[in-house]
Amino acid sequence: MSLRHLLSISDLSPADIQRLYERTRALKEKLPSPTLQGKSIALVFEKPSLRTRVSFEVGMAQLGGYAVYLAPGDIRMGTREPVSDVAQNLSRWVDGIVARVFRHETAVELAQHSSVPVINALTDREHPCQALADLYTLLERFGSLPGRKLAFVGDGNNVCHSLLLVCARLGVHLSVATPEGYRPDAGIFEVARQTASADSRIEWVHDPAEAVRNADAVYTDVWVSMGQEEEREGKLRAFQGFQVNESLLSFARKGAAVMHCLPARRGEEISASALDGPQSVALDQAENRMHVQKGILSLMLEP
């Protein structure tokens, strides 16, 4: 995987993802794996985090390197210091930059001015590390991915965008159900459709039951993302009928995996019984964030 930066799933070919998953499997089976002895990364975070911070910090330590965490108030990119200066300074000290930022443009600008790899750990446009971990979780569960059906129910957000792109590359049929005003970005959706492999079908529907019908896995995410709190009341009205619960899951295949990238609001986008029930793989997804990110770091930072 000869990547300069990982800002989008579009930066990866199907062969890149296959190699990543092979490396992930090897690293997950062998702990620790000090392939990055002496290497360092900077975690540049504009948003608070549980899974992203811990998974990158612990994962880097298991690889023999170390991470420097820069909290939302530490840098204040764009106010205290230009993004370009942050990127150029960090490039002199660390071997990679992991960016969890509000605007996708910020991650792009970091990459433009950085001489070390920049990894997108979440922007308003994409969440590639999450989607790669999600599909790896399904690969572990089913043994293979081509021809499987994943239903995404909820908001056409950054997670949905990355799922669209990765499912298209890996031969997974993705059916997205959102309220009319909350469809995924039209450009990303079209790229996913145009790049879909022969085994993959990419579609948007309005009816959640239609999306979930015969699905092997059903995925949802919070309806109100961080930074969108002022939209909360309107979204709660718009998303009535889109909750993932036992009633909706009855349309899926028996024993279908229930997926959520967390944190979750039980009683809103998903019922407690669905999220905490035996079909849920949410904690497997969370664990695999660390293993897949170790694979990414290993392939991008190894000498």
* Options 125, 261, 285, 293, the catalytic residue: 261
* Options 23, 169, 260, 289, the catalytic residue: 289
* Options 95, 104, 130, 155, the catalytic residue: 130
- Catalytic residue check, 221: yes
Amino acid at 40: S
Q: Give the CA radius of gyration of the chain.
A: 19
- Catalytic residue check, 25: no
Task: Give a three-class secondary structure readout of the chain.
Answer: CCCCCECCHHHCCHHHHHHHHHHHHHHHHCCCCCCCCCCEEEEEECCCCCHHHHHHHHHHHHCCCEEEEECHHHHCECCCECHHHHHHHHHCCCCEEEEECCCHHHHHHHHHHCCCCEEEEECCCCCHHHHHHHHHHHHHHHCCCCCCEEEEECCCCHHHHHHHHHHHHHCCEEEEECCHHHCCCHHHHHHHHHHCCCCCCEEEECCHHHHHCCCCEEEECCCCCCCCHHHHHHHHHHCCCCCECHHHHCCCCCCCEEEECCCCCECCCECHHHHCCCCECHHHHHHHHHHHHHHHHHHHHCC
Residue 187 CB coordination number (10 Å): 9
* Options 23, 51, 53, 100, the catalytic residue: 100
- Catalytic residue check, 261: yes
* Options 5, 104, 125, 127, the catalytic residue: 127
- Catalytic residue check, 130: yes
- Catalytic residue check, 51: no
Known catalytic residues? 100, 127, 130, 221, 261, 289
